Structure 1
Amino acid sequence: MPTETLILVLAIDRGAGPAPLTEHRTKAAVPFGGKFRVIDFTLANCLHSGLRQVLVLTQYKSHSLHKHLRDGWSIFNPELREFITPVPPQMRESQEWYAGPFDAIRQNRYLIERSRARQILVLDGGAVYRMDYAELVRAHAESKAEITVAVRAVDGRGSGTQACVELTEGERIAGFGRPASPPVENALAAPVPEEAERLETMGVYVFDRDFLLEEMMRLDQARRDDGVVADTDLALDIVAPVVADRRVVAYRFGQDRGRVTPDRYWCDLASIDAYYQANMALLRAEPPLDLYQADWNIHTYQGQYPPARTVPGATSGNEGIFVNSMLAAGTVISGGGVNHSVLFPKVRVQDGAIVEASILFNGVTIGEGAHLRNCIVEKDVEIPPRMQIGHDPKSDRERFTVSEKGVVVVTKSP
């Protein structure tokens, strides 16, 4: 099975939802959880599932992502036919960039044709979750499906970002519906009673290779005959039109047969608030996503930085402290205080500075006496001494991007 499955990871999304974090990087490359990138979770699923023939389709501001793949994921052995290869638009047939998820697959048809794979696993590189893809592929083969769509149970309002799914007997998909727009908290909601169950897609699909090649030829002809074919969502634009004529089945996320069912966690980080809440949820006593699960660790690139530490402030002599927070390597708290926050590598918190319920990216410096609350601070930003952010909504909106829930995103030095 490992060599019979070719994986296409879609990392072409501008990620408009979590903007301005995607101003200089694609959504898949956005930092997450104190040391990771979003795409690390999808790639770790591939690694632990034993499926190691991976093409990462890239496009939008992809340098940061390409560098991360080079530095952190050059771990597969090509002699064993293992690889993780970034594939920007090759323009073999025209001068067009990827026009959408299916067009990105279509433009790389030659890679599918020369592959020995029997099925093509298509994944969204911009979501955070754990999943045993090997079990998904096994279920696809057992059901003799032409397309298998991974679905998850949500409450009656859904996530607001994914297509909803209607099933018939035998887990056959009868149709898809457009997503609603519920509050962002639903992206992290706990399981709901069965009577309120609603199923949504997850951006995870298994296609029979021969069917996929046939469908690409059909859509190419339709494009020539009728013009542009809609291509913004794989479920709604590509899978939905064929459910009546082809065998399309659902695979329920979190089944007992999978090896990582205890988490049952998925989040597509569709907004700044969803991104912020997903990071803050990692600080719970029992987080919905366990980063410390020993048998399913998340691989990534880490710089060779010294250990994080706290030291007394040079002026005040007060001890640096942190409470219920994540501190990555190279971080130093010098007489400041950090509470319920996520700090990426090489952060500096100076004497008397206070950081509360915030996310600080690589290389951020918080000046003496500054006070941050409910903030996301972009990499290498220096917060001047005694500046307050997250305390005065009116002042914050004049200087920074502020989300609907009041999270302040600082993307440049004030």
Structure 2
Amino acid sequence: MTLSPSRNISQLTQSAVAVVLAGGRGTRLEALTKYRSKPALHYGGKFRLIDFPLSNCINSGIRRIGVVTQYKSHSLIRHLMNGWGGFNRHLGEYIDLLPASQQYANDWYKGTADALYQNLQFIQKTRADYVIVLSGDQVYRMDYGELLADHVKHDADVTVACLPVQQSEARGKLGIAQINDEHRIIDFVEKPHNPCEIPGRPGWSLASMGIYVFNTDFLVEKLKEDAVALSSRHDFGHNIIPDSIKRYRTFAYTFEEQACQTQYWKDVGTLDNYFQANMDLLTRQCQFDLFDQHWPIWTYHGQTPPARFSKDECGRHGLTQDSLISGGCEIVGAQIIHSLLFTNVKVEGGATVEHCVILPETTIGQGASLKRVIVDSHCTVPAGIEIGHCAEADKRRGFTVTQQQITLVTQEMLDKMPLTSQRQQQLHLPTLKQTEESVVTHKGQH
């Protein structure tokens, strides 16, 4: 990523506070978010989704950040405490956790706008000129200094970061904006089933990225107004943005015009999108370069030894092709092909892992064969098992299979899997044949 020659850091970004909305349930990610919030989900071998907007803040020069948490936030909070605690409050730097503490109501956060309304005290105490509202579960790089500069240039009350996407990708999933020649938003519809096209660009729509810049005084006024509106859903996309278009200066900032070589943005809201976003990282031609040291992605990463590749007890050295292997991994005479292995994954002799995403602290048993599979963290995959080769067989065993034939495996699914003879042996349980032989022997002794 090539940085803009004029980085808008010193004045604008230091006059801004960022609020990261990190309370999402992530229900479309199925069992991956059963015990963790979506922003806490692992991504890219050693990161969590929350690391990307936070890294954008740090690299842009924004050092005052609030993180709004809600559902299943324990692992997220632990990650933030471990990896994002190096701020100096004496220099005006901090990340504050903002859980649903019912300061203004007796409910959970009822929507994205309500989440900020219930944290008005935090926003007002910062005395910032601008508030940047960010989603905590998207993968992208953005210089927020350029976003702020565009906001100021237009003398805007609110600016919505937007990106052209294919209509099929936007349909029913993303807010869609229409703009005039001055980039002023003239219409906005949240998640329409028939998104309007960009003029002169058939098949494409201008989608909201869920990233907003507000003048602070304007935001406070709008949040108070929305809080007492009985018909409101208390949501930015459904209420705040459409209402602002009618009465205030509301502009779009088009992300593809940012001064860098490539733009990459992924909302990994489904298992298929999550799988593909990880697979994207495996080629050197990927638009999102984890090895870009000019715009690093910061995170917490525990102390681990280097990845180790060794032959198994049969003398097999194994094979690794087009893969990302994280620290602490042990590959013992196995084949790893076009896959991504997170921290402390062990793959035992004779196993094959092909086009897979294996989350941390997982063991793939001897001789297992996995293809197009996501394996959740802390799993023990049985020796000899085949997963991802037959969708119907995977479903019968209780695994989740997506529309694009990606199989999700968790330890709970493995524990509930019907016991086969091989599985019984692994658990040191007697098979039916062994039980019958034991009965015969017992009778003979009497």
If the length of structure 2 is used for normalisation, what is the TM-score?
Answer: 0.86
Q: Does 1:208 align with 2:215?
A: yes
What is aligned with 1:279? 278
1:220 maps to 2:227: yes
Aligned position for 1:394: 392
Aligned equivalents of 2:354, 2:231: Cα separation in 1: 49
Using the alignment, how far apart are the partners of 1:220 and 1:379 within structure 2? 40
Q: What is the alpha-carbon distance in structure 2 between the residues aligned to residue 129 and residue 200 of structure 1?
A: 15
1:195 deviation in Å?
5.2
Structure 2 SS opposite 1:57: strand
Q: Report the counterpart of residue 151 of structure 1 in structure 2.
A: 162
In the alignment, what sits opposite 2:363? 365
The answer to whether 1:162 aligns with 2:174 is yes
1:89 deviates by 1.3
Deviation at 1:228, TM superposition (A): 4.9
Equivalence map 1:15-414=2 (5 Å): 15-160=26-171, 161-179=173-191, 194=201, 196-222=203-229, 227-231=230-234, 233-256=235-258, 258=259, 261-314=260-313, 316-398=314-396, 399-412=398-411, 413-414=414-415
**1: CA distance between counterparts of 2:30 and 2:169?**
22
Gap change, CA 1:193 and 1:318, over 3 Å in 2 = farther
Distance between the aligned counterparts of 1:221 and 1:193, measured in 2? 41
Contact 1:155 / 1:197 at 8 angstroms: preserved in 2?
yes
Equivalent residues of 1:7, 1:123 under 8 A apart: yes
Q: Helix, strand or coil for the counterpart of 2:210?
A: strand
Alpha-carbon offset, residue 111 of structure 1: 1.1
Matching of residue 13 in structure 1 with residue 24 in structure 2: yes
Flag the 1:50–1:177 CA change in 2: closer, same or farther, 3 A. Answer: same
Q: Structure 2: which 5+ runs fail to align?
A: 1-11, 416-446
CA distance in 1, matches of 2:67, 2:86: 15
Give the distance between the partners of 1:346 and 1:83, measured in 2 at CA. Answer: 31
Match of 2:422 in 1: none
Q: Is the 8 A contact 2:189 2:237 kept in 1?
A: no
Q: CA deviation at 1:193?
A: 8.4
Cα distance in 1 for residues equivalent to 2:73 and 2:193: 29
**Would the aligned equivalents of 1:33 and 1:279 in 2 still touch at CA under 8 Å?**
yes
After TM superposition, the structure 1 stretch with the greater mean CA deviation from structure 2, 289-298 or 92-101, is 92-101
Report how far residue 179 of structure 1 moved.
Answer: 3.1
Aligned 8 A contact 1:157 1:180 in 2: no
> What is the one-letter code of the residue matched to 1:144?
D
Distance 1:107 1:255, change over 3 A: same
Asked whether the 8 Å contact 2:266–2:277 carries over to 1, the reply is: yes
Following superposition, the deviation at residue 181 of structure 1 comes to: 6.4
Q: Provide the secondary structure at the position in 2 that maps to 1:48.
A: helix
Q: Which has the larger radius of gyration?
A: 2
TM-score (norm 1): 0.92
> 2:373–2:408: 8 Å Cα contact kept in structure 1?
yes
> Separation in 1 of the partners of 2:368 and 2:204?
46
- Identify which range, 393-402 or 90-99, moves more after superposition: 90-99
Q: Say whether the 8 Å CA contact 1:3–1:116 is kept in structure 2.
A: no
Question: 1:158·1:198 contact (CA, 8 Å) conserved in 2?
Answer: no
The answer to whether the Cα contact below 8 Å between 2:161 and 2:255 also exists between their aligned partners in 1 is yes
Contact 1:310 1:321 in 2 (8 A): no
Contact 2:44 2:281 in 1 (8 A): yes
1:2 aligns with 2:9: no
State how far apart, in whole Å, the 2-side matches of 1:244 and 1:58 are.
31
1:130–1:263 Cα contact (<8 Å) kept:
no
Alpha-carbon offset, residue 17 of structure 1: 2.0
Query: Tell me, what secondary structure is at the counterpart of 1:151?
Result: strand
**Residue type matched to 1:325 in 2?**
S
Contact 2:110 / 2:233 at 8 angstroms: preserved in 1?
Answer: no
Whole-Å separation in 1 of the counterparts to 2:158 and 2:138: 21
How much does 1:363 deviate?
0.8
Q: CA deviation at 1:112?
A: 1.4
The alignment's C-alpha RMSD in Å is 1.7
Aligned to 1:188: none
Q: How many Å apart are 1:285 and its aligned residue?
A: 3.1
Shift of 1:178: 3.9
Moved more, 158-167 or 351-360: 158-167
Q: Tell me, in whole angstroms, the C-alpha distance in 2 between the residues paired with 1:300 and 1:10.
A: 18
Check 1:180–1:386 CA distance in 2 against 1; reply closer, same or farther (3 A cut): farther
Q: Distance in 2 between matches of 1:176 and 1:55?
A: 27
CA distance in 2, matches of 1:98, 1:180: 24
Match of 1:165, SS state, is strand
Check the 8 A contact 1:166/1:173 in 2, yes or no: yes
Q: C-alpha displacement at 1:197, in angstroms?
A: 4.1
Query: Aligned pair count?
Result: 396
